[in-house]
């Protein structure tokens, strides 16, 4: 947890203990049902909670442990290097020095795609129900719906920034497949490209109470010669919540960024 | 390897280890981490807005006496709120010292990392997307 956030949480806890604060800002409300150690610290190593249907409950506010949105391949699992097609390699190399930064969609407050959104340095919240899991991302106040009701996606859909997601359980792992992307997203700030053929498979696992592990496979035959897989990790944030982040309120940066001339 | 590539690598390394705040754009593409700057001025305007807060301040050149208005970019409101800021933490007419990195495009724009209130000596982190601490100089 960020030091300042910890201070805020501690202050809120003191206020509650003294009975001083009844009305609270959402940022400071203690989370219920949290396992604690004898000293009162959150027991992140406690077993992951279970939903009433017996599945692991992934619900909670999560914060990525690294800024994967900067470099999606920071924890590349396989293969050993990103299997670029020649044009994609040339484009990524062009973008890597920052000279095209103005063209990166989030620099213009357009959505960070999938899976970049989960690696942005902002928390996100999973709300899990049996037939639908919703993920709310603080970064640009975006959301995804992951349907676990057995539906499958048609071949022809209107392409979007975040695609269409459906999920199924593989043991204790939620496997999410997302397609129907618009091909405009940079997969990360480094500039790895995507096309409309992108298919993302995310495997979410909650090994204990305080940690989430996500294995993400990028399958985009439009830009890469083979699928490639990265690992992402997130930590549970307790006693706090998301805040609104309306990016395009006053975006002055774009005029100072190189590229687009 | 050209100079820009080296700078990108250096900044990349800094970003990788720093506690980053909300960064919707590339920090090293916009700011030169090798151009640290420290300026003291009187706040003229506060834009407490997404995606980044901007503080404007009149900075006086002690030699020439010329007063120039500078812009200081900080983290977004959420990043600052989580560091203990409120929208009233800085107000017009406050005397403040900013430390940060200069914009690459030559404009009077600084990415502020820390802010020190002259009156109280209070030091606050600015939620810079380049991290809280100034990197070691090259």
Separation between Cα atoms, residue A117 and residue A122, nearest integer Å: 9
**A2 neighbors B83 (Cβ within 8 angstroms):** yes
Please indicate, yes or no, if residue A120 is contained in any of the structural domains.
Answer: yes
Separation between Cα atoms, residue A175 and residue B110, nearest integer Å: 44
CA distance A169 to chain B (A): 32
- State both tokens at A224: 């890469």
Separation between Cα atoms, residue A168 and residue A64, nearest integer Å: 23
Question: Looking at residue B132, what is its pLDDT?
Answer: 57
What pTM does this model have? Answer: 0.85
Question: Looking at residue B131, what is its pLDDT?
Answer: 62
Residue of chain B nearest A4, judged by CA positions:
B83
Residue of chain B nearest A240, judged by CA positions:
B82
**What are the CB-based long-range contacts (under 8 Å, 24+) for A210-215?**
A210/A42, A210/A43, A210/A44, A210/A45, A210/A46, A210/A235, A210/A236, A211/A44, A211/A235, A211/A236, A212/A58, A212/A62, A212/A236, A214/A115, A214/A118, A215/A77
Q: Which residues contact residue B137 at a Cβ distance below 8 angstroms, ignoring those fewer than 6 apart?
A: B34, B36
In sequence order, the β-bridge partners of residue B56 are B45, B71
Encode A108-137: b = buried (16+ Cβ within 10 Å), e = exposed. bbbbbbbbbbbbbbbbbbbebeeeebebbb
Question: Looking at residue A28, what is its pLDDT?
Answer: 85
- Residue B86 at interface with chain A, using a CB cutoff of 8 Å: no
Residue owning tokens 């989580």: B82
* Nearest CB to A97; choose among B5, B54, B76: B5
CATH of residue A152's domain is: 2.40.128.20
Please indicate, yes or no, if residue A43 is contained in any of the structural domains.
Answer: no
Per-residue pLDDT tens for A143-192?
A: 999 999 999 999 999 999 999 999 999 999 999 999 999 999 999 999 99
How far CA A88 is from CA of A216, B86, B103, in Å, comes to 19, 44, 30
- Residue A17 at interface with chain B, using a CB cutoff of 8 Å: no
- Give the strand pairing for B67-73 and B95-103: unpaired
* Nearest CB to B21; choose among A8, A104, A121: A121
Separation between Cα atoms, residue A207 and residue A189, nearest integer Å: 29
**3-state SS track over B36-77:** EEEEEEEEEEEECCCCCCEEEEEEECCCCCCEEEEEEECCCH
Residue of chain B nearest A122, judged by CA positions:
B22
Per-residue pLDDT tens for A2-39?
A: 444 554 554 444 444 444 456 778 888 889 999 999 99
What residue numbers bound the domain in which A107 lies?
60-247
CA distance B19 to chain A (A): 8
Residue B103: list chain A partners with CB under 8 A. Answer: 256
Q: Mark yes or no for CB contact B50/A2 under 8 Å.
A: no
- Residue B10 at interface with chain A, using a CB cutoff of 8 Å: no
Please indicate, yes or no, if residue A86 is contained in any of the structural domains.
Answer: yes
Separation between Cα atoms, residue B62 and residue B54, nearest integer Å: 24
Answer whether residue B125 shows pLDDT above 90.
Answer: no
Separation between Cα atoms, residue A216 and residue B14, nearest integer Å: 25
Please indicate, yes or no, if residue A14 is contained in any of the structural domains.
Answer: no
Residue of chain A nearest B111, judged by CA positions:
A253
Separation between Cα atoms, residue B6 and residue A3, nearest integer Å: 32
Please indicate, yes or no, if residue A49 is contained in any of the structural domains.
Answer: no
Separation between Cα atoms, residue A169 and residue A148, nearest integer Å: 8
- Residue A97 at interface with chain B, using a CB cutoff of 8 Å: yes
Separation between Cα atoms, residue B95 and residue B59, nearest integer Å: 10
Per-residue pLDDT tens for B1-50?
A: 343 433 333 333 333 223 344 467 788 888 998 899 999 999 999 999 99
Instruction: Tell which of B3, B6, B8, B25 to mutate to test the A interface (max A CBs under 10 Å).
Output: B25
Please indicate, yes or no, if residue A208 is contained in any of the structural domains.
Answer: yes
Please count the other Cβ atoms lying within 10 Å of the Cβ belonging to residue B128: 29
Q: Mark yes or no for CB contact A254/B19 under 8 Å.
A: no
* Nearest CB to B24; choose among A5, A8, A107: A107
**A132 neighbors A145 (Cβ within 8 angstroms):** yes
- Residue B51 at interface with chain A, using a CB cutoff of 8 Å: yes
- Residue B69 at interface with chain A, using a CB cutoff of 8 Å: no
Question: Looking at residue A209, what is its pLDDT?
Answer: 98
Separation between Cα atoms, residue A91 and residue A127, nearest integer Å: 37
B121: left (phi over 0), alpha (psi -120 to 50) or beta: left
- State both tokens at A241: 């919540």
Residue B104: list chain A partners with CB under 8 A. Answer: 256, 258
- Residue A122 at interface with chain B, using a CB cutoff of 8 Å: yes
Q: Mark yes or no for CB contact A256/B105 under 8 Å.
A: yes
Please indicate, yes or no, if residue A257 is contained in any of the structural domains.
Answer: no
CATH topology assigned to domain B3-125: OB fold (Dihydrolipoamide Acetyltransferase, E2P) (2.40.50)
* Nearest CB to B23; choose among A4, A121, A248: A121
**A177 neighbors A162 (Cβ within 8 angstroms):** no
ipTM of the complex: 0.82
Q: Mark yes or no for CB contact A106/B21 under 8 Å.
A: no
Question: Looking at residue B124, what is its pLDDT?
Answer: 85
Please indicate, yes or no, if residue A53 is contained in any of the structural domains.
Answer: no
* Nearest CB to B50; choose among A250, A257, A258: A250
Residue of chain B nearest A251, judged by CA positions:
B51
Per-residue pLDDT tens for B57-102?
A: 999 988 999 999 999 999 999 999 998 899 999 999 999 999 999 9
Q: Mark yes or no for CB contact A67/B20 under 8 Å.
A: yes
Q: Mark yes or no for CB contact B4/A122 under 8 Å.
A: no
Question: Looking at residue B29, what is its pLDDT?
Answer: 87
Per-residue pLDDT tens for B107-116?
A: 999 999 999 9
Per-residue pLDDT tens for A47-95?
A: 999 999 999 999 999 999 988 999 999 999 999 999 999 999 999 999 9
Q: Per the structure, how many domains does chain A have?
A: 1
Residue of chain A nearest B21, judged by CA positions:
A121
Q: Which residues contact residue B98 at a Cβ distance below 8 angstroms, ignoring those fewer than 6 apart?
A: B37, B38, B39, B40, B41, B55, B57, B70, B72, B110, B112, B114, B115, B126
């Amino acid at each position: 947890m960020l030091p300042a956030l910890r201070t805020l949480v501690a202050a809120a806890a003191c206020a509650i203990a003294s009975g001083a604060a009844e009305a609270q800002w959402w940022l400071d409300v203690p989370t219920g049902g949290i396992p604690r150690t004898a000293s009162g610290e959150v027991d992140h190593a406690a077993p992951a909670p279970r939903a009433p249907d017996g599945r692991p409950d992934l619900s909670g506010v999560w914060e990525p442990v690294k800024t994967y949105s900067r470099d999606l391949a920071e924890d590349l699992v396989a293969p050993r290097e990103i299997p670029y097609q020649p044009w994609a390699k040339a484009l990524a190399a062009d973008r890597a020095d920052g000279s095209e930064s103005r063209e990166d969609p989030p620099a213009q407050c357009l959505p960070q795609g999938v899976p970049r959104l989960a690696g942005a340095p902002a928390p996100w919240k999973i709300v899990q129900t049996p037939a639908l899991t919703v993920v709310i991302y603080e970064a640009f106040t975006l959301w995804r719906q992951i349907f676990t009701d057995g539906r499958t996606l048609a071949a022809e859909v209107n392409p979007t920034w975040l695609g269409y997601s459906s999920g199924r359980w593989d043991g204790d792992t939620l496997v999410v497949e997302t397609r129907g992307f618009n091909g405009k997203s940079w997969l990360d700030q480094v500039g790895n490209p995507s096309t409309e053929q992108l298919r993302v498979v995310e495997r979410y696992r909650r090994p204990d109470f305080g940690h989430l592990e996500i294995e993400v496979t990028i399958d985009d035959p439009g830009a890469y010669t083979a699928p490639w897989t990265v690992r992402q990790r997130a930590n549970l944030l307790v006693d706090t919540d998301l805040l609104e982040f309306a990016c395009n309120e006053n975006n002055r940066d774009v005029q100072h960024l190189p590229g687009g001339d | 390897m050209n100079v820009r590539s080296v700078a990108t690598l250096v900044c990349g390394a800094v970003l990788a280890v720093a506690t980053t705040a909300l960064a919707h754009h590339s920090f090293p593409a916009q700011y030169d981490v090798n151009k640290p700057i420290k300026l003291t001025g009187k706040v003229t305007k506060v834009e407490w807005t997404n995606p980044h807060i901007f503080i404007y301040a009149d900075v006086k050149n002690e030699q020439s006496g010329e007063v120039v208005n500078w812009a200081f970019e900080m983290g977004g409101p959420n990043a600052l709120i989580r560091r203990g800021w409120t929208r009233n933490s800085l107000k017009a007419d406050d005397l403040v010292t900013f430390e940060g990195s200069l914009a690459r495009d030559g404009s009077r724009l600084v990415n502020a990392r820390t802010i020190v209130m002259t009156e109280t000596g209070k030091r606050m982190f600015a939620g810079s997307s380049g991290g809280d601490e100034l990197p070691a100089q090259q």
